[in-house]
Structure 1
Amino acid sequence: MDTVPLWALLLALAFLILCSAFFAMAETALMAANRYRLRHQAKRGSRAAATALWLLERTDKLLSLVLIANTLINAMVTALVTAIAIGLFGREESVITIATAVVAFLLIVFAEISPKVIGATYPEKISLASSFVLKAMMALAKPVIWFVNLFVSLVLKLFRVQTVGAGHDHRLSPEELRSIVLEGGNFIPQKHKSILLNLFDFEAISVEDIMTPRAQIEALNLAVPVEEIKHQLVTCYHNKLLVYEGEINRVLGILHVRKAMALLSEEELTPEHFKALLSPPYFIPQETPVFAQLQYFQEKKERLAVIVDEYGELQGLVTLDDIIEEMIGEFTTTLPGTGRNDRFQWDEKGECLLEGSTPLRDINKFLQLQLPLDGPKTLNGLILEQLQDIPDAAIAIRIANCIIEVVQVQNQSIKVVKLIRS
C-alpha cells in the first residue's frame, strides 16, 4: 500500500472483475448458441461463426481455459481486496471477514450472475464477438491446458466417464424437429409449417390410412353388357379405372379412359377390345408405409396401386395424388361435392354428419378430435369395435370427449353418423 497508490489497486481490481465477467459471459454464450444457426452463418462466409464452431468442437479445452482463467482471476481478486482492506483498516480479524464477504458479493454479482444472464440472453452476438479472443487465448495457454487436461482425463477414466469428442452426435430426433417447426412462429409460413408437420407423420402411417376403400372404388366390370360399359365410361369421373371381371378381386388391369373413348364408335365392340388396352395392375400390401410407397411410385414410374391384404383380397386403391394431398393438403377433387374440407365442418349446434366410411385420421385432422387410431381405420369400424355388434336402431356412444350417434344402418354397416361436440 505504501508503494502502490490506492487508485491503481482499485483499477486493477476492476480490470480483473471485468476479465472474469468476460470469460463467464463468453462461455455461457457459446454453450447457449444455436449450433445450426452458427453453421449456417459459417457456410455463408462468417469467420466469427466458423471460429465459434471450432471452439465448440473442443469443449474440453474451452472449459479448461475458462476455469483456469477464472480460478486465477478470482484468487487474485481475493488477494487484492484483502490487501486493500488491510492497508486501509488494519489487520483486524473482522476486516478480513468483511473483505472476504465483499469479494464474494462482487464476484457473484459482477463476475458470475450478471455476465451469464447477458450471455444467455444474446448468445449469438456475444459468441461471435468473443470467439477470436478465446481462440487466441487458447493458443497462448495451450501448454497449461494440456497439463491440466492430462490429470482431468485420468480422473475421468478412473470414473469411466466418456467425454464428448468430435464425433459427438448433435443430430435432432423427429420429435425435436417437430418441436422446432411448431415453435417457428412467424419465421415459417403456416402453410409451410403444415407441410413439414405432415412429412413427420409419413413414417407412422401406411397406405391403408389414406387409400380409397374398396366400397368407394369406381371400377369397370367387363362381365356386364357392353352398353353398360359404354355408359360407365361416358359418365366416369376418373381418367383411370380399375377393371375386373365378375368379382372385384379378379382384377384384370388398369384402363386409361381416354384410350377407351376411341373404341366407343366401334360397331361390334366386345370386352376383348377393352382388355387389349389394359396396363398391368400394380399390387402392394396394405401395411406399406406411405413414404416408402412414394419412393416406389417414383422408382416404378407408377401413379396408381391396388392395395391387398395378406389373403390377396382387394382392400382399396392409392394414387400418387393421394400421397401428395397428404403432404400439402387437398388440391383436387375427383368427384363433385366430395371435398374433404367441405364435409368436415361443425354446424352452429356443434354437430357434424359424416359417412360411416370416413377415415378416422381425416376426422381428427379436420375436426380437431382425438379418436383412437391404433385399431379400426374408419368411423364405422370404430363404432362396431366399441359396440361389438351391428346396431339395428339409433344409438349413441361417447369416445374421446365426442358423442357419436348412429343415424343410419344399411347392409350390415353404419352408413351415416352424427358427431356431437361435448
Structure 2
Amino acid sequence: MEQLPLWAQIGAIILLLVCSSFFSISETAMMALNRHRLKHLANQGALGAKTTQHLLGRTDELLSVILIGNNLLNTVIPVLCTAIALRTFGNGNLVLSLATGVVAFLVIVFAEITPKIVGATFPEKIALPASLVIAPLIRIARPLVWFVNLFANGILRILHINTKGGRDQRLSPEELRTVVLESGSFMPTKHRSILLNLFDLENIAVEDVMIPRRRIEALDFDAPFEQILHQLETCYHNKLIVYQGEIDRVLGVLHVRKTLAALHNQELERETLSALLTEPYFVPTGTPVFQQLQYFQESRQRTALVVNEYGELQGLITPEDIIEELIGEFTTSIPRGANSRGGWSEQGECIVAGSMPLRELNRWLQLSLPTSGPKTLNGLILEVLEEIPDGDVCVEIRGVKLEVMRSDDQAIRTVKLFKPGSRPSSALR
C-alpha cells in the first residue's frame, strides 16, 4: 500500500467501506425478510428467492460468512486509515486520535447504521439480489466457516442452546388474525372481514348464531284447519317446525311447498299432514359451529333444532345462519322490527327489538357489544341493570348508549340505540 499513490489508497478504503456496507445491509435485509412472503416468491419463481430461502435454512453458515467478512473489513479499514494519516501528517498523538475518531465515524455511519436502516426498510429488494453474491462466497469460504462454526457450535452446546428448535415459522391462529388485521389496503375490506369471521368461528357455538325460540316460525298441529292452511300460504320460510300443544313437543319439520302441492287436489286432513312430516334433527346448545356445519354436510340436513340439557327447545339453526356469520347477512326473510330496517337514522339513532341477538346487532350496526355472556340485547341490559326496569331507563355499554323504550313484567321489548359519537336527543338518566 505504501507504493500506491494517495488517491489509490483512499479509493481502496472507500471500496472496503462499500464491501462492509454490503455485508451489513445484506445481514439486516435477510433477517428482516418475511419468510412467508419469501416462500410465495420462491413458488412464483422470483429471481434469487430460492437462493435466499436456502441461505436462511442454513443461518449458521450465512451469518458466519457475513460476520467474518464484515469484521475483517472493519478491522482492516482503521489500520489503513491510521497508517495513511500518520504517513501524511506525521507521527503524533493528536494525529492518531483524530484518525481514530474519523475512522470510527465513517465505519459507524457508512458501514453500520445507514446500511442496516436501508436493509430493514427494503428487505425484499435487497436480500434477493444479495443472495446471488453471498451464495458463492459461502462455497468459497466453507473451510473457514467450518473452522469458525466448530468453536461457535461448541459454545452453543455448552450453553444447551438448540438452534434447530427455533426455526419453526408456523403461525398460530391469533398470529394469522393479526396478519389479516394488519393487511390494510393489500386486501379488500370484505375479504378481510370474512377471514376474521372465519377465525371467530373457532370460539362460537350454535347457540350464538341460532334463531331464538321466540322468533321461530312454527305451526301448531292442533290448530284449526283454516288457520293451518292460512299459515302455510303466508309463511316466510319454506320449512316449518310443527308442534303439538307447546313448542317443546316437536312432531317434525314440514316442507311448505311440497305440502301445498300435495294438498292441492285433496282435502286437508291431520293424517295427511302428519304423513308429510320429516323427523326433526336435534343438536345440543354447546355444539361448535364448525362441527355443526360438518354435521349438516354429512346428514344432508338443512334445519337443526337446538335443545338444552333438559330437552327444551332453545332455537333453530340452518347452514344459512352459519354462512351469514361468515359473509354477513344476505337474507331478510323476517323484518327486524319497526324503524330498524334502515340502520342508523340521520340523528344517529336506531330502534330495535329487545330480543335481537347481539351478534346480529353488532354485525348489522358495526358495534362491539359483549357477546360472551347473554345472547340477546334484552339479556345484556338486564345483566347490567340486574332488574327489569319499571320505566324508561338509559344505560351505556361499550360506548353505546341504550334507552329502554318499552318493557313488561317479563322482558325488555323495545330499545333505542344511539350511535357512538353522536349526541342523544333525549336526556340520559
TM-score, normalised on structure 1?
Answer: 0.93
Distance of 2:341 and 2:243 partners within structure 1:
31
Contact (CA 8 Å) 1:242, 1:254: kept in 2 or not?
A: yes
Gaps of 5+ in 1: none
**Structure 2 residue ranges without an equivalent (≥5):** 424-429
Find the counterpart in structure 2 of residue 98 from structure 1.
98
What letter corresponds to residue 234 of structure 2 in structure 1? T
Question: Which stretch shows the higher mean deviation, 89-98 or 125-134?
Answer: 89-98
Bigger mean CA offset, 98-107 vs 222-231: 222-231
Name the counterpart of 1:201: 200
Tell whether the 8 Å contact from 2:328 to 2:363 is kept in structure 1 after alignment.
no
The answer to whether 1:26 aligns with 2:26 is: yes
Question: Structure 1: how far apart are the matches of 2:338 and 2:411?
Answer: 21
Cα displacement (A) at 1:344:
6.5
Equivalent residues in 2 for 1:42-191 (5 A)? 42-164=42-164, 168-191=167-190
Decide which moves more: 274-283 or 262-271. Answer: 262-271
Query: Would you say the 8 A contact 1:343–1:354 is kept in 2?
Result: no
**CA shift at 1:47, angstroms?**
4.5
Give the CA deviation at 1:340: 12
Q: How much does 1:342 deviate?
A: 5.1
Equivalent-residue separation in structure 2 for 1:395 and 1:4 (angstroms)? 92
- 1:229-264 Cα offsets, whole Å, 9 max, x none, are 211111111111112222211112211111111233
- Matched residue, 1:412: 410
Separation in 2 of the partners of 1:138 and 1:273? 84
Q: How far apart, CA to CA, are the structure 2 residues paired with 1:3 and 1:19?
A: 23
The separation in 2 between residues aligned to 1:240 and 1:360, in whole angstroms, is 25
Task: Report sequence identity in percent.
Answer: 56
AA aligned opposite 1:419 = L
Per-residue CA deviations over 1:122-161 (Å, capped at 9, x if unaligned) read: 2111111111111111111111112111211222222232
Find out whether 1:288 has 2:278 as its counterpart. Answer: no
Task: Give, in whole Å, the separation in 1 of the partners of 2:414 and 2:337.
Answer: 17
1:83-115 per-residue CA deviation (whole Å, 9 max, x = no partner) reads: 111211222222222221121111111111111
Name the CA distance, whole Å, in 2 between partners of 1:174 and 1:342: 35
Matched with 1:389 is 387
Quick one: distance in 2 between partners of 1:385 and 1:343?
26
Contact 1:26 1:127 in 2 (8 A): yes
Over residues 22-55 of structure 1, what are the superposed CA-to-partner deviations in whole Å (9 max), with x where a residue is unaligned? 0001111111122222211211223410111111
Query: Could you tell me how far apart the structure 2 residues matched to 1:353 and 1:340 are?
Result: 7
User: Residue type matched to 2:205 in 1?
Assistant: S
1:371 to 351, 369, 372: 369
TM-fit CA distance, 1:226:
2.4
Distance apart, 1:213 and its partner CA: 0.4
Cα pair 1:344 1:366 within 8 Å, conserved: no
TM-score, length of structure 2 as denominator length: 0.92
TM-aligned CA distance change 1:339 to 1:189, over 3 Å: farther
Q: Which amino acid aligns with 2:353?
A: E
Amino acid at match of 1:63: L
Deviation string 1:298-345 (CA, Å, 9 cap, x unpaired) is: 22222211111121111001111111111111222223x449995372
Q: Which whole-Å CA distance do the structure 2 matches of 1:218 and 1:121 have between them?
A: 59
Identify the residue that residue 343 of structure 2 maps to in structure 1.
345
Question: For the structure 1 residues 341 and 351, does the alpha-carbon distance in structure 2 shift closer, same or farther, using more than 3 Å as the test?
Answer: closer
Q: Distance in 2 between matches of 1:28 and 1:248?
A: 67
CA RMSD after TM alignment: 2.2
After the TM superposition, which of the residue ranges 395-404 and 205-214 deviates more from structure 2? 395-404
- Structure 1 residues 67 and 2, CA, compared in 2 at 3 Å: closer, same or farther? closer
Q: How does 1:268-283 map to 2 (within 5 A)?
A: 268-283=267-282
Instruction: Write the letter of the residue equivalent to 1:345.
Output: G
| Stretch moving more, 84-93 or 262-271 | 262-271
Aligned partners of 1:324 and 1:368: how far apart in 2? 18
Matched with 1:362 is: 360
Cα distance between partner residues in 2 of 1:324 and 1:340:
26
Matches of 2:231 and 2:409, distance apart in 1: 24
The whole-number CA distance in structure 2 between the counterparts of 1:141 and 1:102 is: 31
CA pair 282-212 structure 1, distance change in 2 beyond 3 A:
same
Shift of residue 281, structure 1, vs aligned partner: 1.6
Give the distance between the partners of 2:85 and 2:92, measured in 1 at CA.
10
Cα contact 1:333–1:339 (8 A) shared by 2: no
Quote the offset at 1:19 in angstroms: 0.8
**Equivalent-residue separation in structure 1 for 2:18 and 2:266 (angstroms):** 98
Distance 1:339 1:327, change over 3 A: farther
Q: Distance in 2 between matches of 1:330 and 1:33?
A: 39
